[in-house]
Amino acid sequence: MGKKLELLRNLLNEVGTNKKNVFQEGPAPLTIEEKRDFAESLKTFSQLGESIYSTRKIEEAVTQIESMVETANRLVTEDSADLVDNVSAGRHFKLMNEALKELKKSCNEIMIHERRAAMAYEDIAEGLKKYYEI
The pLDDT profile of the chain, 134 residues, written as one tens digit per residue, is: 566 556 556 655 655 445 555 556 677 888 999 988 888 888 888 888 777 777 678 888 899 999 999 998 888 877 666 656 778 888 889 999 999 999 999 999 998 998 899 999 999 999 999 998 88
Sign of the torsion formed by the C-alpha atoms of 93, 96, 100 and 102? positive
